[in-house]
Amino acid sequence: DGRLLDVEDLFVEFRTRDGVAKAINGVSFSLDEGETLAVLGESGSGKSVTAQAIMGILDSPPGFITGGRIRYCGTDLLGLTEKQRREVRGPEISMIFQDALSSLNPVFPVGWQIAEMLRVHRGANRSDAREGAIRLMERVNIPAARQRVNAFPHQFSGGMRQRIMIAMAIALDPAVLIADEPTTALDVTVQAQIMALLAELQEERRMGLILITHDLGVVADVADRIAVMYAGRLVETADVHPIYAAPAHPYTKGLLASIPRLDQKGQELSAIGGLPPNLTRIPPGCPFNPRCPYAQDVCRHDPPPPLIEVRPGRRSACHFTDRVLADSEVEFDHTH
Ligand code: SF4
Ligand code: MG
């Protein structure tokens, strides 16, 4: 049906010393060609685990996919062999991580690492692969790429290393790029440049882009849609602008109120009191109830219905979503 990626009722568990951690609990979403989806939530909400499940890089054990489907262009990735999976990972779906230094190999020149992808996957010869690597380094705006193709990762700044990671990630022209907190380790000016680069590449290559972040502030300008996660569930999904104007879920409201200030870079500060639940002991009822200013008795006993449509294209999983949305709309009118 033209969908690039379809995640359907995904469940992931981790066996820990504390017991079974229910990391992902029935998550469904899809991504279209050329679409940018921001996946938002605090640490431990399941954003990275979802990405790892899509990439097929969940450590197994201790991480297990216990239910659901992940379809890429109609094919269920969970039914593939590891060998088939490797043909998807890189050429079709690729990923960049927060920490470029630990993702790049310290003992090989960066250009060699990019060229190696072209040699292994495209069968390029040495000199073509090297030229390809230089072109990619130029495309991600590394100054003097030709002179620096033989430099090592530690000879680049954090921002430049992140650009090299991006060059590797797009080397094989993937249809889907997943960026997990791609700018969290960088300072604010560099963050903005990297986001702009990702947006540019997404547009130019018509990639589906999944941007994982704890910071609503960095995705406002680049995302088409937002999916908010809490305790391994999706709690709200919407087009980007309505969600900023008037969130329909109390957790989204809390996240919006806690967009980090410039002087608090990299911290997962929160205006929401308390912490996300221990995933081995998710509270009964709505998992957000211990922290939720809207919580009533029913929230401590009955799980909210899964994402229901509250406005066209907007879904929220909360017993009192109408009330929350009405409050948000009033607040928005008062501040604009
Ligand atoms: Fe808060 Fe209840 Fe809604 Fe959960 S269901 S977010 S506890 S109001
Ligand atoms: Mg993470």
* Residue 230 near ligand 1, beta carbon < 6 Å: no
- Between the CA of 333 and the centroid of ligand 2 the distance, in Å, is 34
Atom of ligand 1 nearest to the CA of 249: 6
- Between the CA of 180 and the centroid of ligand 2 the distance, in Å, is 7
Atom of ligand 1 nearest to the CA of 321: 3
* Residue 289 near ligand 1, beta carbon < 6 Å: yes
* Residue 295 near ligand 1, beta carbon < 6 Å: yes
SS3 labels along the chain: CCEEEEEEEEEEEEEECCEEEEEEEEEEEEEECCCEEEEECCCCCCHHHHHHHHHCCCCCCCEEEEEEEEEECCEEHHHCCHHHHHHHECCCEEEECCCHHHHCCCCCCHHHHHHHHHHHHHCCCHHHHHHHHHHHHHHCCCCCHHHHCCCCHHHCCHHHHHHHHHHHHHCCCCCEEEEECCCCCCCHHHHHHHHHHHHHHHHHHCCEEEEEECCHHHHCCCCCEEEEEECCEEEEEEEHHHHHHCCCCHHHHHHHCCCCCHHHCCCCCCCCCCCCCCCCCCCCCCCCHHHCCCCCHHHHHCCCCCCEEEECCEEECCCCHHHHHHHHHHHHHHHC
Domains of the chain: 35-51+87-92+174-335 (3.40.50.300)
Ligand minimally distant from the alpha carbon of residue 296: 1
Q: In this structure, which residue's CA is closest to atom 5 in ligand 1?
A: 318
Q: Residues 21-41: pLDDT tens digits? A: 999 999 999 999 999 999 999
- Between the CA of 287 and the centroid of ligand 1 the distance, in Å, is 8
Q: What residues does the ion ligand 2 have nearby, CB within 5 Å?
A: 48
* Residue 292 near ligand 1, beta carbon < 6 Å: yes
Ligand minimally distant from the alpha carbon of residue 306: 1
Ligand minimally distant from the alpha carbon of residue 39: 2
* Residue 325 near ligand 1, beta carbon < 6 Å: no
Q: Which of 272, 310, 319, 328 maximizes ligand 1 atoms within 8 Å of its Cβ, making it the mutation to test the pocket? A: 319
Q: Residues 85-103: pLDDT tens digits? A: 999 999 999 999 887 777 8
What stretches in the chain show pLDDT beneath 50? 261-269
pLDDT of residue 331: 84
- Between the CA of 214 and the centroid of ligand 1 the distance, in Å, is 20
Q: Which of 45, 291, 297, 320 maximizes ligand 1 atoms within 8 Å of its Cβ, making it the mutation to test the pocket? A: 320
Ligand minimally distant from the alpha carbon of residue 316: 1
* Interface TM-score (ipTM) > 0.85: yes
Q: Which of 299, 316, 323 maximizes ligand 1 atoms within 8 Å of its Cβ, making it the mutation to test the pocket? A: 299
pLDDT of residue 319: 98
